Structure formats: C-alpha cells, structure tokens
Amino acid sequence: MDTLHIELSQNLKEKPDVNNLGFGKFFSDHMLTMDYSLDAGWHDLKIIPYGPISLDPSAMVLHYGQEVFEGMKAYRTSSGEIVLFRPDMNLKRLNKSCERLSIPQVDESILLQGLSKLIRIDESWIPSGEENALYIRPFIIATEPCLGVRASHTYKLIVILSPVGSYYPEGIHPVSIYVEQRYVRAFRGGTGAAKTSSNYAASIKAQEEAKTSGYSQVLWLDGVESKYVEEVGSMNVFFKVNGEVITPALSGSILAGVTRDSVIALLQSWGVHVTERKISMEELAEAHRQGLLEEAFGTGTAAVISPIGSMRWGEAEMTIAGGHTGELARKLFDTITGIQRGQQEDPFGWIYSIR
Ligand code: COI
C-alpha cells in the first residue's frame, strides 16, 4: 500500500475516562480519508489528524442524503493482540449499500489495510474494560456541489474511531420495547437493507415518542401491512418460541447484520433449531398467551446482544422471560464477546488480527 500518505497529529488529545465512555462521544487522534472523482476514481488515501472537514454548502449529501456507513469494533485480546470481528462482512455490506445508493464501489482490501493502519496508529485509544471497544465508523458522502437530483460525481470516504462502552445504558440488561404501528422504517423496494443515514433519520421520531412513553426501543413492523416484525431499534431481532429460534428473513427491507449472521451460525452449531421467516405480531402475541414466548433479543455490532424484557403492542403488554435476561441471550453474549476478546476459541475463523 505504497500510496497511503500519513500525517501524524502534533496535538494528541487527552483520553476519556474508560468508566464513562457512553457511545460515540469521543474520537481518536487520526482519521482515514480517500476521495473519488470521475477522472481519478478512488484516490488520495491518507491518514491525517482527526478534525473538521470542509464541505461546499451545496454538497449533494447535505440535500439528498446520498451517504452510506458501516459500524465495526476493534478489541485488544487478553494476549495483547488487536483484532476485528468479521471485517470482510462489513466491507462487503458497505459495497452493497454503495450499490443501492449509486455510490462507486470501494476496493475492500485497500480499505481494510488502510483502516488497520489507522487503528495501529491510534491503538492507545482501544479502551480497557469488559464492555468497551474501539468503534470504527467508515462512511462515504456525496461531495459534488450541485442541487440536481442525481448521483454525485465526487465522494469522500472517511473512517473515524471512537472508544465506546455499551450502546444502550441497559447493557446486557433487558430493554422494554414499543411495537410501532404508526411510523415505518422501511418498505419493499426502499433502502431498508442498506446502511444509509436516511433509514436512521426516519426512525428518530418514533424512537422519541417511544422514549416519552417509557420504552427504550422501537420494534419496527413491515411497511406494507404493519403486521410482520422487521427490526428493533438499530438491531436485528430474534425470538425463542417453544424451543425454536425465529428471526425475520432478509426480505430486502431489513439490514443483513453481521451479529445476526454470527448468532444464526452459533445457534446451529449448538444444535438449536433456527428459522429465518416472516413472523407476525399476532403469532408472537398468541405464543405469549400460551406461555411459549420464551425469549426475545436484538443483535447488532454496537449493542452485541440486547435482551428484550417486555413488548407493548397496542393495548397488550407482554413480559418476556420474566423481564430478565434469558439463558440463550446470555450464552450468545458470553460466546460472541468471548470470541471477540480472545477468551474463547474461534471455531469459525471470525477473528481478523491486525498486524
Ligand atoms: C451498529 O450496530 O454498528 C450500528 O451501526 C448501529 C448504529 C446506528 C449505532
């Protein structure tokens, strides 16, 4: 990678208190950037001091939201190694999102080498602490100054690093969720399967209303009939019903989560029956009435595993697993974080070591 230019910061920042990181509030000393133009393609890969970027007020991303992003985490294992969890999947998904948003494809191996170098340079920002990690946020924005609605001719890719704690203040403790029937997050043919800012912008209003009513998360239903379960908050969702684990199939309107895929592989390796299919709220409510809804949990890079202790659907309030963290959610959390931190065997070869 002889084209990577590095400019080190002369002004290193003070590190935050690892006991009080929250999520995405602090940023490391450097960032990776790369530019795209029609003539040169992706070019000018560099690591520079973290700081504000200059954008033309007419930059297309500011008006029409042509943007994609990813979320990954770096960990320091007990033997001192720095590792990533399945980065190939994130980078593939970044390109799938690019494809949906008409953004030019990025060379995944160049990006992986570039962000690995960035993490090496800022490795002192990997926070110690059980639930802490260095969150990696790659994103691409449309930078062409133009108000026409079309694909931009120029883009900027940036990777920033943030030492984080648990995404939800509840951590591995159960969250209460509100089943959203008024707003939708995504619909068939839309951008629900892409990691793009507009999906998240569309979710904020419902999230705020749920919070006001005392719920910490929103469970999204399908955008056509408001009948079938899609995602919860910014995570994929799983239910254990009468011994079987069910998760919504990748219909095109939900995100193909890396943690989701890992959970399915782990459950199958443990001999648990997992099904990817449509699940209606009616089916879940009926299972709950019969005492068969044993567990529910969300999965995501930021949140890892987030157990669901209760669900509000219309007038029905359903308590799940007695409002406690279910056995399966706990085992999945321990296994995934154990693999990520090098405390457990990695039978699937998910760990990528940064040299
Ligand atoms: C992640 O889990 O990495 C996400 O991107 C969710 C996020 C919106 C915080």
Are 122 and 39 part of one and the same domain?
yes
CA quadruple 26, 336, 352, 69: dihedral, nearest 10: -50
What CATH number corresponds to the domain at position 285?
3.20.10.10
Residue 347, in any domain of the structure: no
Q: Same structural domain for residues 232 and 107? A: no
Nearby residues of 73 by Cβ (< 8 Å), 6 or more positions away: 84, 85, 133, 134, 135, 136, 164, 301, 340
- Please report the atom of ligand 1 found closest to the CA of residue 234: 6
Same domain, 221 and 150: no
Residue nearest to atom 8 of ligand 1 (CA): 234
Residue type at position 67: E
pLDDT, tens only, 267-322:
999 999 999 999 999 999 999 999 999 999 999 998 899 999 999 999 999 999 99
Ligand 1 atom closest to the Cα of residue 167 is 9
CA–CA dist 35, 158 (Å, integer): 9
Confirm whether 147 is domain-assigned: yes
Can you tell me whether residue 17 is helix, strand or coil? Answer: coil
pLDDT, tens digit (0-9, with 9 covering 90-100), for 165-223: 988 877 778 999 999 999 999 988 999 999 999 999 999 999 999 999 999 999 999 99
What pLDDT does 233 receive? 85
Number of domains in the chain: 2
For residue 229, the SS3 value is strand
Q: Are residues 185 and 314 in the same domain?
A: yes
DSSP letter at 15? P
Test site for ligand 1: of 68, 234, 260, 262, most ligand atoms within 8 A of the Cβ:
234
Note the pLDDT of residue 2: 53
d(CA 62, CA 204): 18
d(CA 124, CA 89): 25
Q: Specify whether the CB–CB gap between 197 and 67 falls below 8 A.
A: yes
> What pLDDT sits at residue 101?
98
- Ligand 1 centroid to Cα of residue 161, in Å, is 13
Ligand 1 centroid to residue 88 C-alpha, Å: 17
Q: Is 351 domain-assigned?
A: no
% of the chain surpassing 90 pLDDT: 93
Atom of ligand 1 nearest to the CA of 71: 3
Residue 170 lies in a domain: no
pLDDT range class, residue 130, cuts 50, 70, 90: confident
Domain that holds residue 298: 175-340
Average pLDDT over residues 94-101: 98
Residue 71 Cβ contacting ligand 1 at under 6 Å = yes
* Residue of 70, 167, 218 best suited for mutating to test ligand 1, as the one with most atoms within 8 Å of CB: 167
Residues 142-176: pLDDT tens digits?
999 999 999 999 999 999 999 999 888 777 789 99
Q: Closest residue (by CA) to atom 5 of ligand 1? A: 71
Rounded to the nearest whole angstrom, what is the distance from the C-alpha of residue 10 to the centroid of ligand 1? Answer: 31
Please give the distance, rounded to the nearest whole angstrom, from the Cα atom of residue 302 to the centre of ligand 1.
5
The 10s digit of each residue's pLDDT in 223-265 is 999 999 999 988 999 999 999 999 999 989 999 999 999 999 9
Number of the ligand 1 atom closest to the C-alpha atom of 302: 2
3 Cα–ligand 1 center, Å: 30
Pairing of strands 351-353, 82-85: antiparallel
How many of the other CB atoms lie within 10 Å of CB of 334? Answer: 14
Mark whether 109 and 179 lie in a shared domain. Answer: no
Cα–Cα nearest to 7, from 27, 31, 36: 31
222 located within any domain:
yes
Q: Say if residue 44 is in the same domain as residue 90.
A: yes
In ligand 1, the atom with minimum distance to the C-alpha of 73 is: 3
Shortest-distance atom of ligand 1 to CA 195: 5
Decide: 146 and 191 in contact? Cβ < 8 Å: no
Specify whether 248 is located in the same domain as 296: yes
CA 56–ligand 1 middle distance (angstroms): 27
Q: What is the average pLDDT value for the chain, to the nearest integer?
A: 95
Quick one: tokens of 117? 């170098």
Read off the pLDDT of each residue in 129-137 and give the average, rounded to a whole number.
Answer: 94
84 shares its domain with 12: yes
Atom of ligand 1 nearest to the CA of 303: 2
Determine if ligand 1 sits within 6 Å of the CB of residue 127. Answer: no
Decide if 209 is inside a domain: yes
Per-residue pLDDT band at 84 (split at 50, 70, 90): very high
Mean pLDDT over 68-77 rounds to: 96
**Is 345 domain-assigned?**
no
The answer to whether residue 354 is domain-embedded is no
Does residue 328 register a pLDDT over 60?
yes
Q: Is 298 near ligand 1, meaning CB less than 6 Å away?
A: no
Beta carbon of 164 within 6 Å of any ligand 1 atom? no
Say whether both 143 and 213 belong to one domain: no
